[in-house]
Amino acid sequence: MKTFEEKWTAWIDGQLTGRELEEFLASLPDKAAAEAEKQSAKQLGSLLREQAVALSNADFFSHQLRERLDRESGPARSAPDAVQTGWWTIRRLLWGGITSLAVFALCTAVVLREKTPSSQSQYLTEILTYRVDPTVSPNATISMFQPKDERVTVLWVEGLQSLPPEYATK
């Protein structure tokens, strides 16, 4: 159901036809005044159409627009370049990843190799095999500390009458 405003507008623009038009005209209290209004609306339309403005410097308008589009969306306008750039980036990422993995593997190998004792220290062997001579130092006691996780051995000796010559030399 059209409102009065919609029907009026359609009537002004010649869009009201048939029964709708008849009903609308019959509903108008003053047809002469309505016709004058319609004429006035037509004149208004003519006046507005006469005010069309020209775009001066139309070519410059296009030129400026082209420059702006190139500036603002340059990469997007060149699809092949974008694809190439994409592949270049992917290749670089791939090579970067492989190189990083290789460096990581190398460092890991070096660290593990250093952590694993290849053989027992010659000093430890000597300490373990050392015996204090009971004839020289009868009250001597010897204790040895070797923490499991640390690569150090502490030899604690008490009651020595004299320092064994091996200590002095090592």
Q: Considering the complex, state which of residue 12 and residue 132 has its C-beta at the smaller distance from another protein.
A: 12
- Provide, rounded to whole angstroms, the least separation between the CB of residue 1 and another protein: 10
Binding mask 71-100 for another protein (x = CB under 8 A): -xx--xxxx---------------------
Residues 30-49 that bind another protein (CB under 8 A): 37, 40-41, 43-49
| DSSP state for residue 112 in the 8-state scheme | H
74: left (phi over 0), alpha (psi -120 to 50) or beta: alpha
Phi, psi at 73, each rounded to 5°: -130, 35
Dihedral (CA of 50, 56, 59, 60) sign: negative
Cα separation of 93 and 86, whole Å?
Answer: 11
Q: Which parts of this chain interact with another protein (CB under 8 A)? A: 2-3, 5-6, 8-10, 12-13, 15, 37, 40-41, 43-56, 58, 61-62, 64-66, 68-69, 72-73, 76-79
